[in-house]
């Protein structure tokens, strides 16, 4: 009898261990099921974000937005769900040899944004005029309640064959001081909102290497585009405690009128570096505006949430060849 009792006890013990093992298997299965459900939820979140756009629910302030790069930025950000506040001077600067944006082009940019189902506020404003720029920015705040993304894009290239000292001053005033004004008018509301944000400064390959020639305008262009890198790096440190990221984008030649206009082509032909037959490492003479806009979009999006203080070339290898 004792042996039978022992065997029965061992059998019951074995049964309990089997039950424990089955319980453990069930718990493992539940855990795997939960992991699968979590993964499905993350996948659905990603699909939902793709459907809404990478900037869904955000508002972007873009300067120089009526033509060229700025208009491309506005369109690309709107395609990804952003509402827009657009600013452009919409009149000539005397030392700029190529045609500049017009009020009609700003109206066309507005209609493009609306056609994408996004809301938009637009103002004809000179970035050199800080008070007027603040008014334009505040109009966006009144409409949307906040600004999440700033794209400091307004810029000129006063590259004159018949050189003028004023070309230096205009390049510095628009490209450098205008960028300073753009960031400064945005900082108070972005900090007060306590929800972070992204500031993207559009510079140039001329902001990373010594090109531009010996003219007043060429030197002013190079100095201003280098100068905004200093602003970017300092702002990146200043604003990091508020989770506001600041970066710069550096295009090679872009197929816009700033590069393709005959007056600019004549100026470039005088510079041995700019007039190289193949300035870029990749076999293209210029990049398209949307290539630069895609970089701006990435820096503006949460995909770049830990990217700050970076100089991002979109240059087909131009800088690497120097």
Q: Is 221 a catalytic residue?
A: yes
How far apart CA 55 and CA 301 sit, in angstroms, is 6
Token digits of residue 58: 């955000």
User: What is the spatial distance between Cα 205 and Cα 318, in angstroms, rounded to a whole number?
Assistant: 8
Q: Spell 242-280 as b/e; 16+ CB within 10 A means b.
A: bebbbbbbbbbbbebbbbebeebeebbeebeebeeeebb
Residue 92 in contact with residue 180, Cβ under 8 Å?
no
What gap in Å lies between CA 262 and CA 283, rounded to an integer? Answer: 22
Instruction: Spot the catalytic one: 98, 137, 221, 235.
Output: 221
Handedness of CA 255, 259, 263, 269 (dihedral sign): negative
Of 158, 314, 130, which is closest to residue 224 (Cα–Cα)? 158
CA separation for the pair 14, 2 (Å, rounded):
18
> Two tokens at 134?
């603040």
Looking up tokens 């074995």, which residue turns up?
A: 14
How many Å separate Cα 5 from the centre of its chain? 78
246, containing H or E segment = strand 244-251
Two structure tokens written together for 12: 């019951």
Helix count and strand count (H, E) for the chain:
11, 7
The SS3 of residue 115 is helix
- Would you name the residues annotated as active-site residues? 221
């Amino acid at each position: 009898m004792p042996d039978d009792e022992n065997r029965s006890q061992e059998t019951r013990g074995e049964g309990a261990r089997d039950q424990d093992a089955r319980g453990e298997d069930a718990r493992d299965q539940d855990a795997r099921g939960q992991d699968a459900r979590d993964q499905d939820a993350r996948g659905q979140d990603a699909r939902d974000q793709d459907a809404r756009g990478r900037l869904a629910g955000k508002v972007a302030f873009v300067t120089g937005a009526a033509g060229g790069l700025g208009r491309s930025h506005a369109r690309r950000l709107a395609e990804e769900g952003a509402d827009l506040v657009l600013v452009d001077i919409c009149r000539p600067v005397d030392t700029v040899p190529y045609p500049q944006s017009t009020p009609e082009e700003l109206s066309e940019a507005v209609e493009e944004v609306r056609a994408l189902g996004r809301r938009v506020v637009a103002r004809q404003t000179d970035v050199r005029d800080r008070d007027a720029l603040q008014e334009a920015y505040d109009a966006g705040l009144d409409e949307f309640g906040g600004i999440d993304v700033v794209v400091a894009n307004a810029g000129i290239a006063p590259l004159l064959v018949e050189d003028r000292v004023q070309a230096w001053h205009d390049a510095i005033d628009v490209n450098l001081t205008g960028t300073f004004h753009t960031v400064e008018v945005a900082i108070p509301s972005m900090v007060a909102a306590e929800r972070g944000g992204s500031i993207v400064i559009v510079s140039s390959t001329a902001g990373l290497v010594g090109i531009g020639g010996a003219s007043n305008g060429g030197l002013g262009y190079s100095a201003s585009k280098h100068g905004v890198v200093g602003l970017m790096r300092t702002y990146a440190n200043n604003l990091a405690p508020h989770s506001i990221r600041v970066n710069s984008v550096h295009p090679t030649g872009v197929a816009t009128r700033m590069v393709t206009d005959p007056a600019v082509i004549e100026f470039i032909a005088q510079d041995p570096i700019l007039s190289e037959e193949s300035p870029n490492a990749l076999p293209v003479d210029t990049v398209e505006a949307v290539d630069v806009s895609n970089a701006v979009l990435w820096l503006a999006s949460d995909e770049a949430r830990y990217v700050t203080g970076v100089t991002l070339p979109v240059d087909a290898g131009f800088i690497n060849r120097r």
